[in-house]
Each structure stands twice: as C-alpha cells, then as structure tokens.
Amino acid sequence: MPIQNVIVLNQPAHWRFDVGDVEVTSAKAYLTERRYAEMKHARVFNLCRSYRYQSVGYYVSLLAAARGHRPIPTVATMQDFRSQTIIRTIAEDVDARIQKGLASVEGRSFTLYIYFGQSIHPPHQDIARALYNLFQAPLLKVQFALTTKWLIQQISPLSLALIPEADQAHLPRLAAVYFARKRFHPPRIQQYDYDLGILINPQEANPPSCKRALKKFAEAAEKLNIEVEWVTRDDYNRLSEFDALFIRETTAVNHHTYLFSRRAHAEGLVVIDDPWSILRCANKVYLAERLALAKLPAPKTTILQRDALKQAPEALGIDFPCVIKQPDSAFSHGVVLAEDPTSWRRELAALFEKSDLLIAQEFMASPFDWRVGVMDGRPLYVCRYYMAKGHWQICNWSRSRDDQRFGKDESVPVDHAPPAVVQTAVRAANLIGDGLYGVDLKEIDGKLYVIEINDNPSIDAGVEDAVLKDELYLTIMRSILRRIEG
C-alpha cells in the first residue's frame, strides 16, 4: 500500500506550494477527524507554528506516533531542541563539517536556515544535510557563535511565517525535491511481522560480527518472520521505520552508535545495545566502582587523576608491570603496559592528553582469557581467547596481518565450562542490565578476576557460535522478538 504524505499546519492556507501527491490539512482536523486516526502508512510532516510541550504542534507528532504514522519531527526531536547539552552532544558528530563549512564566514555569529534538508547557499549544503539528519524537522534555524571554534548556540524549528523574505523564492523548488523523495520501499513479496535494523559499518576493520555472522543473524530473524535491513550512520533519520535496532558496530559514547541507541530508545524501539549499557560498559571507571561495590573479584584497580604525574608510583600503590587504561578503551585500544617508572610516566603523559581520568590495574599474566556471552541474565556461550603470540593481550595491534594479530580461540559448551566462571560472569553482566554482554575473566592460581564487561561482544562465525551454531543467532533473535512483543 503506498504511503500517504500529510502536511499539517495551524493554517493550511499558508501552504502555497505545488509538490504533487501530498495532502495538506489543519492541525485541528488531523487531531480530531476519524479518517486520520484510521489512516494506514502515513508520513506526517508537522509544520505547526510551535513544538513546545503540550502545544498543538506537540500533540500532532505525539498522536501520529500513537497511530503508527511516521511524524517529522518526532516528539523525541522536539525534546532535543529544548536541551543545549543534547544539541551539542549530538552535533559533535558533525563538528568537522561545521568547522570546514563555516571557515570562510566573517564575524563571530552566523545563522543557517535549513529548508527541507537543504541550504540555499552551496558552501553550507553539507552542514545542512548533516544537521537535518540529526534533527529531522522540515524547517530549521541554526544559530552559531565563534569562540575558539564554531559552536551551535541554538537549533530550533522554523514556521513558514518566519522564513526571511529573500529566501521565499527558493522554497517551491526545495519543497518539490523533498517531497518527491518521500516514498515507501517497494512492496514486499513476503509480509513480515516486524522490522529490525542492524547497524553496521562496512568500513570497520574489526567489527563485532563478520559478514558470515551477519548473514546468520538475518537468516535467524527471517525464520521468526522479522525482516532485517542493514543500516549505517547515514540512516539516523530512518530509525522510526523499525521496531528494533541491533547494533553490530563497535560502540562508544562520543560516537554515532550511542546517538543511534539513544534516539532509538526515545522512539520506543527495542535496542541492543541500549544507551545505558553503552554508557556503563564504555567507561572503566564506572565498571571498577560497580564491581568493587558488588564485591566481585577484579584486578587491583587505582583511579588516576592528572596529579599522578607528579607522584611516585609507589606512593600510589603501583607495582610493575602495570596496565594503564583509558576509561573508554575497547578492543585493546587505549590499553598499555608500563614495565617501569620511566615507561609509566611516558604512558601516563600520553593518555592524559585524551582523558582526565585513567585506570591503573595490576598486571595478571595468563595464557588465555575466559569470555562468557550473557543475554537476558543467562549464559549464551563460553570461549577461551588465547594471548597473541609473543604478546600480553589477545590482540597485538602492532602486527599488520589479522592472522598474526590474534591468538587462537576455543569455544566450550556452557555446561562444560567451570561453573564458577559462568556464575561470576552472569553476576557481573547483571550489574549492567539484561541486554547482550561479553564478560572477560582471568583465572590465576584457581582464583577468578573480572577484567571487563563488554556491551557489544564479538560474535563471529566459527568462533562464538562453534558450539551452538545457528541456535546462537536464533536465541538472540528470539530475545529481540520477545522484547518487541513485550
């Protein structure tokens, strides 16, 4: 069934553009007339004068979402406009484009108008498209100020009545292009119950799942009548089209993966990894404190501030060799080994350039690390990851070839793994939530130590699925399905 495009305004007479197959109606009609409530497959372009909380414009988008329509902007976007912190956090993802696009602007302030995802000034087109993808509303006004660099001071929706007169002549063309693109995907041969977006980065060198594993996820979803679509960072403005989001790209807080997770949750999607899990697992300071409070065994850990550079290591209780970590380190990046006071000071100085806090942990040598995959508070798989040849970690990033970087791996049936390993891992994962986690542990002289908890664990074909095979992918998809039907 083709999508119906509906433009909603306080006063429909203000819409004077011929853009083809689009219905223009009043906010009052959309909110009260039964035919709109019963309309299927509608995309609602909300051009009301105000989006403030509990205004008519706010309720147009709220009811559109309740009716299963796709509102633009969404209520989540409206709330984002109200928070300067959220605006700046989200906009960090396009900071390089902002600096490049405004480099030639004179003065210390600048206002950018974005009409239907575009700017009428070619040098600012890239910024306009990027910001529209992050704050999807048909008409936007963005105010910038120059300090040490260009910063967004305010981003706000714009009513038709406030568009500068000099720009009015461009609107018919921009509106026609915009609405011509708003079409549903071609009709499906099979009717699926739900839509799942899987976020990937085709250019990522070491993604959480290889191509074979991704294919198996898609096959498992199809068996449960869930359609999978691969999405990338460019699909941020399409999240409301899905029922769930599964992130299979390496996550980080100051990164588009977190923004996707946060926005998907705000849109009401099932999300794996959820934003709280990303925030908690991405920061080693949080994990160290959480494990200590839960009395779970972990390596001796010291939180370091910048004044550690001025103190003797022994005064801080540091023994060598010692592992130093950035709080947001992942996949062995941002993790170094200091073997003596000289390398200690050198590594601290380098890492403090990136973070105000660091983690120092006692070094524990072991031939392998345990990894226990946990979802819904239950163990999924157990693996041994052996150290890379001649190296102290499972991955040696200094090697140029993948077959030299990683140590060997070995999967173990959950019921054949040491019970204490599995139980400790499940306890650790439950400190974070009920999502999908990978808990890394070391076993030294018969004692277990939780090294870290990963919110985005590796699941590669032939490694983590070696025991359960296709059942591993089905188990994860069944969990997502249960959450959708919830």
DSSP string, 229-296: EEE-GGGGGGGGG-SEEEE-S---SSSHHHHHHHHHHHTT-EEES-HHHHHHHT-HHHHHHHHHHTT-
For residue 418, being part of any structural domain is answered with no
For residue 114, being part of any structural domain is answered with yes
Range of the domain at 28: 4-78
| Residues 307 and 348 both lie in one domain | yes
Query: Which of the listed residues 58, 78, 98 is the one where a domain comes to its end?
Result: 78
For residue 93, being part of any structural domain is answered with yes
The number of distinct structural domains making up the chain is: 4
The answer to whether residues 448 and 199 touch, using CB atoms and an 8 Å cutoff, is: no
Query: Which of the listed residues 78, 98, 119 is the one where a domain comes to its end?
Result: 78
Which residues neighbour 191 within 8 Å (Cβ) at sequence distance 6 or greater?
A: none
Q: What is the pLDDT along the chain (486 residues), one digit of tens a residue?
A: 456 889 999 999 888 888 777 899 999 999 999 899 888 878 899 999 888 877 899 889 988 888 878 888 888 788 778 777 777 776 777 888 899 999 999 999 999 999 998 999 999 999 998 888 778 888 999 999 999 999 998 888 888 888 998 998 898 888 888 877 544 343 344 567 889 999 999 999 889 999 999 999 999 999 999 999 999 988 887 887 888 999 999 998 878 899 899 888 877 889 999 999 998 888 777 888 889 889 999 888 888 888 888 888 888 888 888 888 887 665 556 688 888 889 888 989 888 887 778 888 888 888 899 999 999 999 999 999 987 776 766 666 566 555 567 778 899 999 999 999 999 999 999 999 999 999 999 999 889 999 989 999 999 999 999 999 999 999 999 999 999 987
| Residues 102 and 72 both lie in one domain | no
| Residues 157 and 210 both lie in one domain | no
Which residues neighbour 196 within 8 Å (Cβ) at sequence distance 6 or greater?
A: 221, 226, 227, 228, 229, 242, 243, 244, 245, 246, 480
For residue 372, being part of any structural domain is answered with no
| Residues 69 and 89 both lie in one domain | no
Query: Which of the listed residues 345, 362, 379 is the one where a domain comes to its end?
Result: 362
For residue 111, being part of any structural domain is answered with yes
- Token pair, residue 85, equals 């912190």
**CATH number, domain at 257?**
3.40.50.20
**CATH number, domain at 131?**
3.30.470
Question: Where does 116-188 show beta strands of DSSP type E?
Answer: 139-146, 150-157
| Residues 83 and 64 both lie in one domain | no
**Backbone phi, psi, residue 171, to 5°:** -65, -45
- Token pair, residue 56, equals 């008519």
| Residues 65 and 86 both lie in one domain | no
| Residues 70 and 85 both lie in one domain | no
| Residues 132 and 147 both lie in one domain | yes
For residue 37, being part of any structural domain is answered with yes
For residue 202, being part of any structural domain is answered with yes
| Residues 270 and 351 both lie in one domain | no
| Residues 132 and 65 both lie in one domain | no
pLDDT at site 363: 86
For residue 21, being part of any structural domain is answered with yes
| 273 cis-preceded (ω within 30 degrees of 0) | yes
| Residues 92 and 148 both lie in one domain | yes
pTM of the model: 0.65
**CATH number, domain at 338?**
3.30.1490.20
| Residues 118 and 148 both lie in one domain | yes
**Backbone phi, psi, residue 451, to 5°:** -90, -50
The answer to whether residues 121 and 113 touch, using CB atoms and an 8 Å cutoff, is: no
Handedness of CA 22, 24, 29, 30 (dihedral sign): positive
